Amino acid sequence: MSKAASLHPKGIEAGDHEAYMRLALSLATKSPPKPTNYRVGALVLDVATNEILATGYTLELPGNTHAEQCCFQKLSEKYNVAPEHLSQALPDEVALYTSVEPCSKRLSGNTPCVDRILAIGKRISTVYVGVKEPEKFVSDNSSSRKLNDAGINVVHVGGLEKDILEVATAGHEKPR
């Protein structure tokens, strides 16, 4: 990529998926360590302009909120639309970066993050994930399959798995 390539205000070049995943990981560190959830960071990026539209992390907003959910709630407020109408407000192509694969089931009864993504539809063209969701709380997370079936690409951004899992599981009892 040339030096003339678009730069994000934080200095991240368009297409630098590892740098965006590192940013998502840094957001995850803001989440309080608890034995009952993963610490996850996420961001929504306008692909055309390389502008971050929203960021979020687990438990950032009131309620038992996940990182992706926090992003979507902020976008809903930013564009002054109900969450179910975000597809009408977002730019044509956005990408979601999340340190841990979006959940496909919520034990709390909240809407799973994959269903929130699917409700937004094809405006989200790609979901970049740092690690698959560990099977501690919900086994057989089907979100990648559901997203792919809906025509949304799921791309693993490798190289940060150890760091992501260390942050995600802070506060959990370590196996002996």
Q: Which two tokens stand for residue 53?
A: 């539209």
Per the annotation, the verdict on 68 as an active-site residue is yes
What does the DSSP assignment read for 56-119?
EETTSSTTT--HHHHHHHHHHHHHTS-GGGHHHHS-S-EEEEEEE---S--TTSSPPHHHHHHH
Rounded to 5 degrees, φ, ψ at 79 are -95, 0
Which of 60, 68, 101, 133 does the annotation list as catalytic?
68
CB 68 within 8 A of CB 58: no
Instruction: Look up residue 17 and give its amino acid.
Output: H
Please give the positions annotated as active site: 68
